[in-house]
Structure 1
């Protein structure tokens, strides 16, 4: 490699360090063009591409560089790029290789701990997180990692404690705020005031002055540009509720922009892309860049679909790139973001008093979900006569806490010839199985299933279930709809916090108010009555799918019309607030 190229690469690294990404990119590209096989050129280009979020190009360069000269920093960069592309197995291997060379690299330990937790390798994650904690016992990122590991290990109370410790060290740690909010949603004793305080704390950490933005002075009834932002525009629970809305939304009134923060794409991604007037793949883009993209697209209303769930991009909305911002669907509660104008919900699932300010409820009449079952859903399979009653839940096991397990144990005790089938992720983990079964009084009556290979196989497993039991205090959403579609009635319990109101909202939309219990005694009684009535169960098994298909819950045309009317209402209120009188 010539001295000129070496100097150019040094300049690229200096530009990268200074944050001059355009210059770093230009210099790295030139060096790569002149010396495409040189290890230093591949290394520098790989690092620059990582910083720019050009993850596949980074992988290509770093793999070529590592083939010539292995190094810890390059393995770490490769691990980050593979992680951003959703290739967790390859990312794990890269970070393991980096840590073999630098065992005490804190950043590598932190990232590997995240990956192992996401892959369900809970025991290995515990070991790596312990190493990181020994190196940096007050590091907020390490403490936050331990919180997320606690959630994966079905210990939301333990997780909440780790997240609080992280926030004590770094009050602005957004990942810890997100984790604490998710932990609180799973805990039995969380109150509305607890949730309010935690969301306000998150909002204080995220408060930024909105950037100057356009004031619309055109026709208030003009066609609006509606942006949807999600990390889940793929085969995911969000897709089953968003897809029918986009299919039926009035395109003479609304232009659709989809901002996909997907790490992976699939057949549902293709469906979304076909429905979009404008498709933006934004994975890997930093918050400031995503903010600028939304603003330059002149989006009128931006709807974010993640809330505080994994992969959310609330940070990109903190300075309000769109005049009207709305949260919906992915998270059962408000965002807490000061720049969030509205939360789409219904009156059943909104337990707070209505007050002005961020996250105001934008009520949809008749429910705020619209379900579309996967096309590959199998036919409803009838249960054999005389078989033992099987209660079931296919919800994520983190939703099964001490109160939920105690209530379900009462159901099992009240129906002696019955069993409980639980299906969730990470059931292959001995740690998770032990902790879950330890919550129940008769664990020998419980069968555990891990995830199915595809949607059809997953839905087919409802053939083993007679009656589904909804989780509390964090209700199921997709699982409730799937059970009903497969002919399995779901017994729900009215709760106090938003996450505990979703089940009632769905069952009312589905036209099944008789399945909603007002208290725990009524929950047990409904389960016992249904278990003892073979004729009613058979009728539900045969008729639920048709009943559900004809209900408000699956009426996409009606829902899309109500959804569009709500968006227009939000826009008119914004326009009114911009007028001199407002």
Structure 2
């Protein structure tokens, strides 16, 4: 080393030690110019730049150092550390994975980077290797369980957590993750016990508080859930993404969608890198705002649509030939007792097996009697829960599926990530899963009908609209439901919707309806009113809306007491989110529904249903029309009596309950789509 180089090196190190970043950086640059083949000056610059917070430049310096000396691990380790700080965990994982002889700390950092990058499958493998070196590490066991939960591999997660809790019985992170597993298994009471243990420490972690809030919310204890979510937000700030998402969920469940949306938007603006969870919540909340339009939701979904690789092993297609049975794959988390079951089950049952073959990919976490019914209707049944997107895509391709249909849209438990692997020649979704676009431009269609999506609404969808002449799927009532009850003695309006769909504008309309219908009252019935806190809260909202003394809250049990329909003469639909299943059950029980419709699909379920049974006049556009339709029907006692006596048969004979015809509509539409594409099954949109 020349004297000049020694002096420059000494100058650089001395400047760095005394905190003269500018001097150190300049000396480092001169060293790099004099030693272009050496990695040390670049590494030194990277350290100085990182200390200054100039992370992109630091990453570039460390990357160049790693190129010059690929066998030197310190460059990749430093780059990975900065990459994690800069929000690039995938980059960190690539460099840590390239280390020739990783140490245990490198393996731990690699696993953490993979987890942060969302590659749960690789993270599980990395934590597994680390666990071989640290078999009694509670931290590793807990981290492993978190990734197993993300993959839906709950039994394995429980095994890891049980082991962790043997080693550390009061570990808050292990207790929190076990609470999350119980929530996924629809055991909110057990989850609450675990989350309270984790949150009961003097300085509880955010995750424990949020798990507790979720457990309370799932039990219908919305006021308590809101209080816990407020506590969590108070610790980290209301804009912190996880706290904001939890708080917004609690607010939305209380019919305060406007507050929830504002909170989520502020958090998204402050933390754009944490968009996924915030956008998912916004997609749930926005339809509850009267001024939301489909284009708003489409813009949001664009933040979630990231491209995925399409290896040839997955993208290779299955060809369909004219005259061959069309193999339809249905992918859903809701093959269970769920509102969608009343539509999906009869659709599968109605398919003509001479024309189509049905393959079901079940993402259901908690199976029940409905699951068995779905299983019987499938020609091929696959439990896909716990498979990675790539694994599931490969399974779908191996099954020879011609058309893959997502049944969940953007609702909870969806597997839209699978769609990006193009595992079937034709892929699409259906509007039953949330009433909105998926935002995936690569889909070939979204199943809808002419009333949910009249001409002119295409700009709110990333997918081409495949309109059916009637309902997207048939409705099949539960055979266990009782016969229609006689007309009640008292004139009562009813609403059996989830109170999350209520809002001040709707309550104001209901007050106007009652004002115009002397002697009538309003019955609100739902399981959410069971808790004392929720009942008191909603009584306060009703009183503030001018409904004091004229509205009754009725808590329903989890099995939904059907005799409540014997107390109601007219059901009032909600707005802006219109009811589908709740409206159809009421109509089946002989109770007419008055609805208000708008232009968005989620605002038109009531209109579509009523139109298909010849009662389109009971759905009105605008608040005035809604109030007037309710008043006119309430005044027409003769019509109410006729409807009471004949609604069930009218619905039974309508297109909505014609299972074979509605399934045939779907088959015709899909076969037509395949024919338009040609028998080659080439990729691309229809």
Indicate the TM-score class for this superposition, using the shorter chain for normalisation: 0.7 to 0.9
2:305 corresponds to: 206
- CA shift, 1:374, in A, is 0.8
The answer to whether structure 1 residue 133 and structure 2 residue 233 are counterparts is yes
Q: Name the CA shift for 1:20/1:201 in 2 (closer, same or farther; >3 Å).
A: closer
| Residue 373 of structure 1, aligned match among 471, 477, 485 | 477
Contact 1:338/1:358 (<8 A) preserved: yes
| Residue 358 of structure 1, aligned match among 462, 465, 471 | 462
Q: CA RMSD in A?
A: 3.3
Contact 1:140/1:170 (<8 A) preserved: no
1:5 corresponds to: none
Q: Deviation string for 1:521-558 (max 9, x for gaps)? A: 44333323322333322221121111111111100011
The answer to whether structure 1 residue 324 and structure 2 residue 426 are counterparts is yes
1:419 corresponds to: 521
Q: Quick one: distance in 2 between partners of 1:521 and 1:100?
A: 51
Q: Deviation string for 1:311-344 (max 9, x for gaps)? A: 3333343444433222211211222222333221
The answer to whether structure 1 residue 96 and structure 2 residue 196 are counterparts is yes
- CA shift, 1:147, in A, is 1.4
- CA shift, 1:568, in A, is 1.4
Q: Quick one: distance in 2 between partners of 1:198 and 1:570?
A: 26
| Residue 605 of structure 2, aligned match among 490, 494, 502 | 502
Q: Deviation string for 1:170-190 (max 9, x for gaps)? A: 255223212212222111222
Q: Quick one: distance in 2 between partners of 1:238 and 1:541?
A: 26
Q: Name the CA shift for 1:346/1:463 in 2 (closer, same or farther; >3 Å).
A: same
Contact 1:123/1:431 (<8 A) preserved: no
Q: Name the CA shift for 1:172/1:252 in 2 (closer, same or farther; >3 Å).
A: farther
The answer to whether structure 1 residue 539 and structure 2 residue 642 are counterparts is yes
Q: Quick one: distance in 1 between partners of 2:247 and 2:130?
A: 40
Which one has more relative contact order, counting CA pairs under 8 Å at least 6 apart?
1
The answer to whether structure 1 residue 515 and structure 2 residue 618 are counterparts is yes
Q: Quick one: distance in 1 between partners of 2:637 and 2:391?
A: 59
Q: Quick one: distance in 1 between partners of 2:194 and 2:414?
A: 25
- CA shift, 1:414, in A, is 1.1
Q: Name the CA shift for 1:369/1:87 in 2 (closer, same or farther; >3 Å).
A: same
Q: Deviation string for 1:426-462 (max 9, x for gaps)? A: 212146414641563223200112233315x2x3211
Q: Deviation string for 1:30-62 (max 9, x for gaps)? A: 99xxxxxxx949997786466334313433563
Q: Name the CA shift for 1:270/1:153 in 2 (closer, same or farther; >3 Å).
A: same
Q: Quick one: distance in 2 between partners of 1:277 and 1:398?
A: 38
Q: Name the CA shift for 1:152/1:50 in 2 (closer, same or farther; >3 Å).
A: same
Q: Deviation string for 1:91-121 (max 9, x for gaps)? A: 2222222233473322333333333333333
2:491 corresponds to: 389
1:66 corresponds to: 165
2:262 corresponds to: 161
- CA shift, 1:280, in A, is 2.6
Contact 1:227/1:302 (<8 A) preserved: yes
Count of residue correspondences = 560
Q: How does 1:459-470 map to 2 (within 5 A)?
A: 459-470=562-573
Q: Which runs of 5+ in 1 are unaligned?
A: 1-8, 32-38
Q: Quick one: distance in 1 between partners of 2:494 and 2:144?
A: 50
Equivalent position SS for 2:340:
helix
Equivalent position SS for 1:205:
coil
Contact 1:116/1:125 (<8 A) preserved: yes
| Residue 660 of structure 2, aligned match among 557, 574, 582 | 557
Contact 1:347/1:363 (<8 A) preserved: yes
Q: Quick one: distance in 2 between partners of 1:580 and 1:480?
A: 38
Q: Name the CA shift for 1:218/1:64 in 2 (closer, same or farther; >3 Å).
A: closer
Q: Pick which of 283-292 and 441-450 moved more.
A: 283-292
1:569 corresponds to: 672
Contact 1:391/1:469 (<8 A) preserved: yes
The answer to whether structure 1 residue 303 and structure 2 residue 405 are counterparts is yes
1:276 corresponds to: 378
Q: Deviation string for 1:280-330 (max 9, x for gaps)? A: 333444545444443444432221222232333333434444332222112
Q: Name the CA shift for 1:291/1:159 in 2 (closer, same or farther; >3 Å).
A: farther
Contact 2:254/2:499 (<8 A) preserved: no
Q: Name the CA shift for 1:287/1:164 in 2 (closer, same or farther; >3 Å).
A: farther
- CA shift, 1:151, in A, is 0.6
Q: Deviation string for 1:408-431 (max 9, x for gaps)? A: 222111111100111234212146
- Which has the larger Rg? 2
Q: Pick which of 551-560 and 498-507 moved more.
A: 498-507
Contact 2:175/2:194 (<8 A) preserved: yes
